[in-house]
Structure 1
Amino acid sequence: AQGAPDILAGIALMLVLLLFILSGGDRIYQKLIRSLPTFGDRRKGLRIAHDVEREVSRYLATITAINILLGIVIGTLMAIVGLPNPVLWGIAAAVLNYVPILGAMTGVVIVGVVSLVSMQTTGQALIAPALYLACTVFEGQLITPMLIGNRLKINSVAIVLAIALWGWLWGFVGILVAVPLLIVASVISNHVEGLGGLRELLGPHSTSNNPDRSIPTNGK
């Protein structure tokens, strides 16, 4: 409750900035093209801008649909187990799930605390957080990867660091925009050759099947 005014002020500021950006329309693309020196740079800049717009839009639309469905499922389950204010928990689950990893963990902890206070026995109190955890694990490990696929190739360490950084800089709104900003950085790094280090930092942890790029062993 004490942090609510700051959260609302941050959301209001974000909406005002979004309104000004949307009102700019194609002028943003025109200014981007004019600011670049050569024709090749202008083509690349326009291609990057279009890719950023497409990838962020797809991510937000997909994750919003997933979060709404997740909130409905969790709210229904909380009502079935008898947790107070199930609608509130459904809404909270949908909002918290915009924050990868940390959002689900926070939801499980909060539901667990409320369940311990509300339920009569420890066994009954563990049902609600267990169901919440099962839903978020199923969503995070199956539903989201299946729908988003390989478009979001960002490792979990980069996501947690970005959430911590933008949360510290801009509070709750910063936490919400951390992943879209990572997507923007990832798209830019994929188009600019000089940002190979950033691309490697943001990319998923994987081992290459190419023997020329494998880690040498036994001095070979």
Structure 2
Amino acid sequence: MERFTRLQTVLLSIMTLLALGAVLHFTQQVVLPLVIAILLTFIFVPFVDRMRRARIPVAIGIIVVMFILLMVIMVLAGLLSSSVYALAKEYPRYQTRFTELYSLLKERFKLDLWLFNDLSWLRTLGSYVVSLSGKLVSVITYTLLVVLFLLFLLMEQRHLPRKMIRALRRGMTARIARVMEHIAEQISRYLLIKFFISLTTGLVVWFVYSLIGLDFAFIWGLMAFLFNFIPNIGSTVVWAASSVFAVIQFYPSWHLPIAVSASMLVIQITIGNVIEPKLTGESLNLSPVIVLFSLLMWGWIWGIAGMFIAVPLTVIIKIICENIPALKAVSIFMGTAPPRPKR
């Protein structure tokens, strides 16, 4: 009877997760901006707290943070729109160069790659680039919705401790408050480090690619920033795409494409494999299987945007499990393999 009850519990949990995933999928137009705003709240709350400790009113601190964020969004929107419009305008030229280069390599090296035998996907990609340039207004509207949610979350965050004290029993308040504060500190620290590591990666890629002379360096930097939230897979995608683009742009010269490929490898290895693990610590590393599963799950629920925030969300779940004794085992299974004990 006990085994049957456990089986019922497991099946009910699986059905609940599937139902929750379906609800999140169909409500993504509202829920996804809210989730992104919650993640940004963990990043910006420490700055508001620092200004509060410096005797700056919380309202003024929130206004300063939101003003800086809006200025950054406006600058990025201007750079992105100009880059996308330029890419849409120049795409036919790059399509022609790619076709000529592939025909030349196919004739010289007797290549017969099935992926490139039918080049209709080039026209599909071109139409997607053109449609993307027309969707920038909707992207900006979506971004403003995230900013609006973020504003209300920052305003509400300072009232949360008082609400907790009134809502919970006196004996439980202190212990639960300490646990929640510890969880929030860990999440904020991880997201801040990940955000600035990704930002540094994007800025360095933008700067280096601009020095080399690769076209649309800002787009490659933005891609490096976004795809850095997808471990291993994201950096590989940006490296491969920028290397192929460099070959198309600079052919018949080979030293510049090699410089593009080598610089991306050096940046990713230095920042991703040396600096980031030292800052985040090995305790927050996720199992590769968990990373792949989270990418598939959140990608199914929220598409490409879900894949970008999949790993941060999974790390947050791991942090929460680490701080709750009953879920400690789940956190261990989500992490990487522990080092072997020394004999």
Tell me by how many angstroms 1:50 deviates: 1.2
What is the TM-score of this pair, normalised by structure 2? Answer: 0.52
2:332 corresponds to 1:195: no
Pick which of 150-159 and 102-111 moved more: 150-159
2:294 corresponds to 1:173: no
Q: Quick one: structure 1 residues 18 and 156, their matched pair in 2 at CA, closer, same or farther if it must change by over 3 Å? A: farther
Tell me by how many angstroms 1:195 deviates: 1.3
User: Contact (CA 8 Å) 1:32, 1:45: kept in 2 or not?
Assistant: no
Match of 1:78 in 2: 209
Match of 2:126 in 1: none
Match of 1:120 in 2: 251
Q: Could you list the per-position Cα deviations for residues 79-130 of structure 1 after superposition, in whole angstroms to 9, with x for gaps in the alignment?
A: 3333112233223222322332222122112202311221213734343123
Q: Quick one: structure 1 residues 186 and 48, their matched pair in 2 at CA, closer, same or farther if it must change by over 3 Å? A: farther
Pick which of 187-196 and 14-23 moved more: 14-23
2:261 alignment partner AA: P
User: Contact (CA 8 Å) 2:239, 2:265: kept in 1 or not?
Assistant: yes
Q: Could you list the per-position Cα deviations for residues 160-191 of structure 1 after superposition, in whole angstroms to 9, with x for gaps in the alignment?
A: 32233223212343233323322321222122
Match of 1:218 in 2: none
Q: Quick one: structure 1 residues 201 and 68, their matched pair in 2 at CA, closer, same or farther if it must change by over 3 Å? A: same
**For the residues of structure 2 that align with 1:176 and 1:140, how far apart are their CA atoms?**
16
Q: Quick one: structure 1 residues 177 and 140, their matched pair in 2 at CA, closer, same or farther if it must change by over 3 Å? A: same
Say which structure is richer in helix: 2
**For the residues of structure 1 that align with 2:339 and 2:278, how far apart are their CA atoms?**
22
Q: How many residues align?
A: 210
Q: Quick one: structure 1 residues 56 and 108, their matched pair in 2 at CA, closer, same or farther if it must change by over 3 Å? A: same
SS of equivalent residue, structure 1 residue 121: coil
Match of 1:164 in 2: 296
Q: Quick one: structure 1 residues 153 and 89, their matched pair in 2 at CA, closer, same or farther if it must change by over 3 Å? A: closer
2:268 alignment partner AA: T
Match of 1:23 in 2: 155
Q: Quick one: structure 1 residues 45 and 106, their matched pair in 2 at CA, closer, same or farther if it must change by over 3 Å? A: farther
**For the residues of structure 2 that align with 1:32 and 1:144, how far apart are their CA atoms?**
35
1:178 alignment partner AA: A
- Identical residues among aligned pairs (%): 23
SS of equivalent residue, structure 2 residue 284: coil
What is the TM-score of this pair, normalised by structure 1? Answer: 0.77
CA RMSD of aligned residues (A): 3.0
**For the residues of structure 2 that align with 1:176 and 1:88, how far apart are their CA atoms?**
16
Q: Quick one: structure 1 residues 73 and 25, their matched pair in 2 at CA, closer, same or farther if it must change by over 3 Å? A: closer
**For the residues of structure 2 that align with 1:45 and 1:174, how far apart are their CA atoms?**
30
Match of 2:239 in 1: 108
Tell me by how many angstroms 1:131 deviates: 1.9
SS of equivalent residue, structure 1 residue 171: helix
User: Contact (CA 8 Å) 1:93, 1:107: kept in 2 or not?
Assistant: yes
Match of 1:143 in 2: 275
Q: Quick one: structure 1 residues 21 and 123, their matched pair in 2 at CA, closer, same or farther if it must change by over 3 Å? A: same
